[in-house]
Amino acid sequence: MFYRRRRSFIDFVEKESVKALVRQNAYLIVLRSLTKYYALPGLRFGYLLGEARRVAQLAAYREPWSVNAPALSVALACLKDSGFTVKTARWLERERKFLFERLEALEGFHPFASKANFLLVKIERHAGDALRLRSFLLRRKILIRACDSFAGLGNDYFRIAVKRRRDNRCLLRALEEWTASSIG
């Protein structure tokens, strides 16, 4: 049986990871990426967890130079920095809560609870749509992800990353400006 689920952001919700089950199930293989959690967009690096014999079987099919030296060096440094995970979890919880509460208080926006490093937000019909909002924010050098191409969502949904406090405040000010200017 083959089960695949894209979980690029699972490091932000480690409690929901199936990594621990690898020791209990010889047929379970977990692929992980470091790109999202460690904010390494230019370095594509991941790793595989599984029963030793299965990992060895898969290694036989690996490209000889599948990882370049800079990526390997950065990845090893990331994995050795255990304090990063604890600090990141605390920071993320605090900033996500701040951003969620402020968005919830803004007229025309409905954020959904999240455990990851982003929030999904619904724009109420009277407040415009995500595509127009994205254009408005781009002019202010703020990028959001319109969710019109996501199955089950439409152009009244967008996704925003949780950022540093000053960046979150900048986004919130721009959203206030958006709602004040004839609501979209």
pLDDT tens figures, 69-106: 888 888 889 888 888 888 988 999 999 999 999 999 99
- CATH code, 148: 3.90.1150.10
- The verdict on residue 56 lying in a domain is yes
- The verdict on residue 86 lying in a domain is no
Total domains present in the chain: 2
- The verdict on residue 97 lying in a domain is yes
What strands lie across the sheet with 118-123, from one edge to the other? 109-111, 118-123, 157-161, 145-146
Which of 31, 53, 80 is the last residue before a domain boundary? 80
- Helices and strands, number each (H, E), in the chain: 5, 6
Query: Cα–Cα distance between 148 and 174 in angstroms, integer?
Result: 21
Residue 180: pLDDT over 70: yes
- Domain range spanning residue 122? 93-180
CB 109 within 8 A of CB 117: no
**34-48, 116-130, 148-162, range with the lowest pLDDT:** 34-48
Q: What is the pLDDT of residue 95?
A: 96
- The verdict on residue 173 lying in a domain is yes
- The verdict on residue 64 lying in a domain is yes
Please, where are the H alpha helices in the chain?
52-59, 69-80, 82-105, 130-138, 165-180
- The verdict on residue 4 lying in a domain is no
Question: Mind listing the pLDDT tens digit for each residue in 57-72?
Answer: 888 888 877 788 888 8
Question: Mind listing the pLDDT tens digit for each residue in 103-149?
Answer: 999 999 999 999 888 999 999 877 788 999 999 999 999 999 999 89
pTM for the model stands at 0.73
- The verdict on residue 59 lying in a domain is yes
Residue 3: pLDDT over 50: no
